[in-house]
Chain A
Amino acid sequence: MLERIHVIICGGEACSKQEAKDIKREFDRLLEQEGLTDEAKTVMTGCMGLCEYHPVVVMYPGEVFYQNITVEAVATIIEEHIKHGRIVEQYRIPEPFDRGKIKNISQLKFYKMQKRIALRNCGVINPLDISEYIARDGYFALAKVLREMDPKTVIDTMKQSGLRGRGGGGFPTGLKWEFAAKSVDDVKYVICNADEGDPGAFMDRAVLEGDPHSVLEAMAICGYAIGAHQGYIYVRAEYPVAVERLEIAIRQARELQILGRNILGSHFDFDIELRLGAGAFVCGEETALIASIEGERGMPRNKPPFPAVRGLWGRPTNVNNVETFANVPVIFMKGADWFKNVGTEKSSGTKVFALGGKIMNTGLIEIPMGTTLREAIYDIGGGIPNKRKFKAVQTGGPSGGCITEKYLDTPIDFDNLVELGSMMGSGGMIVMDEDNCMVDVARFYLDFTVEESCGKCTPCREGTKRMLDILNRICEGKGTEEDLDVLERLGKMIQESSLCGLGQTAPNPVLSTLKHFRSEYEAHVYDKVCPAGVCAKLTTFTITEDCIGCTKCARNCPVGAIHGKVKELHHIDPALCIHCGACKVACPVNAISTKPVMKEEHAHV
């Protein structure tokens, strides 16, 4: 799926399906004839709703709509548009036309904006069959490296590609390999970090499950470059499908002598084993991960020395993330310059994001760096469901922060996200709408880090717990003015004094919501109101006109605070209500409102 251009052909039943088929066949025939099948791909979709222009062909990128296309016109489009990048005005649907008519624009956009490098084989090949990976040029990068390149050239290629680590930190991969290569030792190791602990991120799992060989191939290339002969994949046991497919992949690769001794007839030996993790977040931190493989308790240690100098069993070790590795074979097949041209100046290539939360199309998307947040959320993700208003997007999981509407047009790359007080992290992207309480969101992430803190250093162990206590207090309506200041001060202190990345980033969700949504915190503290109606204690439950008088709420209320006759509008007595939310759960017609009555009114009570 590395094609530069997508040709979308409308094949709706309503018009003439046969014509569309003929057009597609002509495209495929000519593309094949011209040797362009690697560059352009044709896709037939269902009816687009543009029947008046039929037959319609849409070209991506650029979203150019061509109308009344005939089989004869195909040659012109290939010659002009695909080969020379010139729009064929003669067939173009004149602007402005009513784009609202386009029925499956969502899917069209889905094609337009994605670029699959790391996920190139996911959903395309059978991951249980090594020959399908090979059919898509799998292991040819390794073969090429072993036959044509010395380790230094491999590292130079990686440096030139500009690939940066996808595990969160964004450290240049070529540079990391160079450090490991320069460490002198006859035993070195390659580790693939497949711990993937961020709640909401599952791209590494998708790669391991859908294309395990790409990781094996890249690890072998890395081993050759740094002078290692053994690799370990540290994968959480909670990913049983990934574990099984990796085991099968390793076995098949060994059978074909792609792993083991004298790989592909060369003098290079390399083998890979799995190590299963128990699913602790901190074990994703590379030094803790190494300790865990060694059989020690999974706790981080001070850096330096970095793993490239002293890693697994004291030997030089290179640790990379799954997605980082998945990009590597492509760099050698297509060239470092090709890769460098994708994405932005300082962040080349693509990034896979897991879209979740209040978004139409939850799922995995791979987009070139530099795509804006708005494009990712609205054009690819389809926007917010139920006509709700966008509030914030959380990136970077428990280490990241929230980004508001104002910054949605920021191009996504490592540095921009950090500047906005968030980070790339492993690529979770959780969208929030007006029904999300930002204090509650911050509390959710902090709750996670408190659970996952390994306890080795005090700021992280004690500090995050104190911050969580304060947040709990605020959500219960017992927050004070001082609390907000303490949160900020404590957060900064923890960032500066924690031992590892876990503690250093744990306050981010709180600090970024405090910065962008301070008024929401203040509503909790001063007005004792949760504007989003999430924090039960600070929420006024009322019954709206939608009530059908079914009496379910009254029967479920534990304190008898709800009155009303059958088939008539019910009422909640605020003096008796204990804000448990049982009525909201019980109501079959969603007639229990949690919106604050009026902030001003409430403040004077």
Chain B
Amino acid sequence: MKSIEDLIKLRDSARKNINMRLNPGSIRIQIGMGTCGIAAGAKHVYQKFQEEIREHNLKNIILTPVGCMGECAFEPLVEILESNGNHTIYCQVSERVVEDIVEEHIIGGAPIEKYFLSAIKR
């Protein structure tokens, strides 16, 4: 990159990937993968999402690791961002919960409240 203009170009094209509202119909799945998340099993959760996405042949999904979200006591954390602006944080996610999230939330469009961070954290 030779100038700030190049930087602006890259920024504007990259924004689509993190701002789901610019990307109608797609879903971003963020897995907390700091050392804390990894220690709690986030790598398995990540792999399970990969498998499920492949198995169900899902399109328009951005699956990405992110850093520590701060709620280390409730790892592994998964945040789902949808193009309508909804954010959902699931906590203490296991591989089995991944199946539920994919089937009920991602495919079925119905977030599963019992796994919400706000439901488990009291």
User: Contact residues of A with B, CB < 8 Å?
Assistant: 12-13, 21, 24-25, 28, 32, 42-47, 103-104, 106-107, 110, 114, 119, 121-129, 131-132, 134-137, 139-140, 143-144, 147, 202, 205-207, 209-211, 239, 241-242, 256-258, 264-265, 360-366, 382
**Can you name the residue of chain A whose Cβ is closest to the Cβ of B79?**
A123
- Are B4 and A143 closer than 8 Å at their CB atoms? yes
CB pair A24 B113 closer than 8 Å: no
Contact present for A147 and B4 (CB under 8 Å): yes
State whether B32 touches A28 (Cβ < 8 A). no
Q: In residues 13-27 of chain B, which contact A (Cβ within 8 Å)?
A: 13-15, 17-19, 21
Q: Which residues of B contact A106 (CB under 8 A)?
A: 121-122
Residues B1 and A124 in contact, CB atoms below 8 Å apart: no
19 A-B pairs besides A44-B88, A382-B121 with CB distance below 8 A are A13-B113, A25-B84, A25-B85, A45-B116, A45-B118, A104-B122, A106-B121, A114-B70, A123-B68, A127-B66, A134-B10, A135-B11, A137-B11, A207-B67, A210-B68, A241-B38, A257-B1, A361-B73, A363-B74
The distance in angstroms between the C-alpha atoms of A140 and B7, with both chains bound, is 8
Q: How far is the CA of A131 from the CA of B62 in the complex (A)?
A: 14
What number of residue pairs across chains A and B have CB atoms under 8 A from each other? 151
A131 to B18, CA, bound (A): 10
Q: Which residues of chain B come closer than 8 Å to A129, judged between CB atoms?
A: 64
Q: How large is the interface on B (under 10, 10 to 19, 20 to 34, 35 or more residues)?
A: 35 or more
Contact, CB under 8 Å: B2 / A363: no
- The docked-state distance in angstroms from the alpha carbon of A396 to that of B17 is 39
Q: Smallest CB–CB gap between A39 and chain B, Å?
A: 16
Residues of the A chain whose Cβ atoms lie less than 8 Å from the Cβ of B17: 131-132, 135
Q: State the CA gap A258–B6 with chains docked (Å).
A: 11
Determine the distance from Cα of A239 to Cα of B10 in the docked complex, in whole angstroms.
31
Residue of A nearest to B67 (CB): A210
> Across the two chains, which residue of chain A brings its CB closest to B116?
A46
List 9 interface pairs A-B (beta carbons < 8 Å), by A numbering: A28-B21, A28-B85, A46-B113, A123-B32, A125-B67, A132-B64, A140-B4, A210-B67, A361-B121
Q: A104-B118, A257-B1 are in contact. Are A119 and B85 (CB under 8 A)?
A: no
Q: Give Cα distance in the complex from A25 to B84, angstroms.
A: 7
Q: Complex: how many Å from CA A61 to CA B38?
A: 33
Tell me the minimal C-beta distance from B5 to chain A in angstroms.
Answer: 9
CA distance A382 to B118 in the complex (A): 13
A134-B10, A363-B73 in contact; A123/B66 too (CB < 8 A)?
yes
Task: Say if the beta carbon of B44 comes within 8 Å of chain A.
Answer: no
A147 to B72, CA, bound (A): 40
Residues of A contacting B6 with CB < 8 Å? 264
CB neighbours (8 Å) of A104 from chain B are: 118-119, 121-122
